[in-house]
Structure 1
Amino acid sequence: MIRAVLFDLDDTLLRLNLTAFIARYVAGASRLLASVARTTPVALGVPYVRAFLAMDAQDREDSLTNEQLFNKTMLEACGIPLDDPVIADLMTYYEERIVPGFSSGVVAARPVPGAREAIEAVHDAGLICALATNPTFSLACDRARMGWAGVDEKDFALVSTYSNSTRCKPSTRYYQEFANQLGVRLEECLMVGNDAVRDIVRDGCGLRTAYVGHGRPRGAVWRGPMERLARELPDLVARLDEQDA
């Protein structure tokens, strides 16, 4: 029985140029950190890439949160302690006050049609609604992108961030940890996402995916645009519940 619907964020609820957003985020953060570390912003480009790749690695064996691993990798690569209170406060200011202004221009952030209605359909059905975005950013960055999508943190029982996750998609461990925090089993979750690789888990863990991307992945239990999912969600959940029964 489906008890929870998990939404991806980027290009699921929010349409944006994600590569441009990451580039703009890293450029701004590098300028701030370079002023503290007395180095050049260019010198921080490679450390940032290493840190993002370290979090995303699917063969990880550590038990660190993504944030802890990110900070550790940055410290080893450039000597900047991101968990130092002064630097942490600086980054918090950047992410809360500056990053929300990155939606325009080449980032081109705007809500996906039907996203708001799909979330409301989940709540109307009495199901748990959660945001299972790939956890490579802080909650502040997730909040900024949620705002661009026309949704709010209050819409979700849980939002995945690099602080509360130890793996990234499509690792089953990421999804299992997320479900555990929600208090449900993976087979009781319906994932809504646009990425045929990251949002569809293929190892038999029981997670099912409604696919709102442009491909036709075999592993999805439903395919189509978000606007149609918003209308058909009750019937989809009823069908999945009947199959489970």
Structure 2
Amino acid sequence: MIDTLLFDLDGTLLPLDTDEFINSYLKLIATKMSKFFDPQQFIAHLLDSTMAMVNNLDSSKTNKEVFWEAFFSKDINIEKEILQFEFDEFYDKDFPSLKKVLKPHPFSSKILKTAFLMNYDVVIATNPIFPLNAIRQRLRWINAENFPYRLITSYEIMHFTKPHIQYYEEILSIIKKSPENCLMIGNDVEEDLIVRKLGVKTFLLKDYMINRNNKKIISDYSGSFNDLLNLILTLRKRGTGVERL
């Protein structure tokens, strides 16, 4: 029986064009760090350090630890504490301005409210390459910051990223759920649908679908926000598992 919903964030609950968001984010943070770095060199270094997180499969290190180890693996003439303070200040003061790239959609908050009213456990299964503060900021943009989530996957606590299957295994371990109890909801064919390998059902949200490598789409369910809402209602009412839309 499905009793747990795993939601991707960017392009799923958060209705935006992911590439537009990332490009705007990189420009903004490079401007913030321009007093220390050449902007283009900073962006290249930031992306290299992010890829270190994405490629890491060492379960003894959190994504945060991997990121900062990679960032300071080159000659950085700034104390780590100072730079981390600048990053924290960026997420507090500058990051909220990125809300401008949001494509408002009333269904995001409605779907979450419905899920909690129907007593689902809810996980924000966003790719954990950002600190928790940045993720909560993005949830705030859709009036969804204060729901009682079972888990929000941030870089402080997670040890793997999408599309590694270990990321999803870690989620299931933390929330102590079996694959058959869960439905993963996302818009990225490669990053979100891979969880089917564990036996987790999937819903592919097509509004902002991403399929960068033109992979064959194999998902248990797919459709719009409205289709997703109907499925969530159906699952809990019938209580017999997933029914075909």
Q: Which residue of 1 aligns with 2:179?
A: 186
Which runs of structure 2 are paired with 1:33-182 in the superposition (5 Å)? Answer: 33-35=33-35, 37=36, 39-57=37-55, 60-61=57-58, 63-79=60-76, 84-104=80-100, 108-182=101-175
In the alignment, what sits opposite 2:230? 231
Within 1, Cα distance between the matches of 2:159 and 2:219?
Answer: 25
Indicate yes or no: 2:210 matched with 1:211: no
Q: Structure 1: 5+ residue runs without aligned partners?
A: none
Residues 71, 81 of structure 1: 8 Å contact kept: no
* 1:122 Cα offset (Å): 1.4
C-alpha deviation, 1:90, in angstroms: 2.1
Distance 1:240 1:223, change over 3 A: farther
Q: What whole-Å deviation, never above 9, does each CA across 1:61-84 have from its counterpart, x for those lacking one?
A: 4632111111111111352678x3
Percent of pairs with identical residues: 22
1:174, distance to aligned residue in structure 2 (A): 0.4
Note the C-alpha offset of 1:201.
Answer: 1.8
Q: Deviations over 1:25-46 (max 9, x none)?
A: 33333344342x4x42222122
Contact 1:118 1:227 in 2 (8 A): no
Distance 2:104 2:119 in 1: 24
TM-superposed CA distance for 1:109, in Å, is 0.6
Match of 2:188 in 1: 195
**Structure 2 counterpart of 1:8, which letter?**
D
Q: Structure 2 length as normaliser, TM-score?
A: 0.84
Name the stretch that deviates more: 206-215 or 133-142.
206-215
Structure 2: runs of 5+ lacking an equivalent: 210-214
**For the Cα contact (< 8 Å) 2:2–2:235, is it kept in 1?**
no
Give CA-to-partner distance per residue, 1:117-168, whole Å, 9 cap, x none.
Answer: 2112211221101100111111111122112233214342211111111111
**Kept in 2: contact 1:116–1:150 (CA 8 A):** yes
Name the CA shift for 1:182/1:236 in 2 (closer, same or farther; >3 Å).
same
Partners of 1:204 and 1:240 lie apart in 2 by 22
- RMSD of aligned Cα (Å): 2.6
- Take 1:21 and 1:153, find their aligned partners in 2: how far apart are those partners? 23
CA deviation after TM superposition for structure 1 residue 234, in Å = 2.7
| Alignment partners' CA distance in 1, 2:139 and 2:231 | 23
The 8 Å contact of residues 170 and 199 in structure 1, kept in 2 or not, is answered as yes
TM-score by length of 1: 0.84
Work out the CA distance in 2 between the residues paired with 1:21 and 1:127: 29
The answer (yes or no) to whether the contact 2:30–2:43 under 8 Å persists in 1 is yes
CA deviations over 1:175-228 (Å, ceiling 9, x no partner):
111122222223311111111111112663111111112569653222111122
Number of residue pairs matched by the alignment: 236
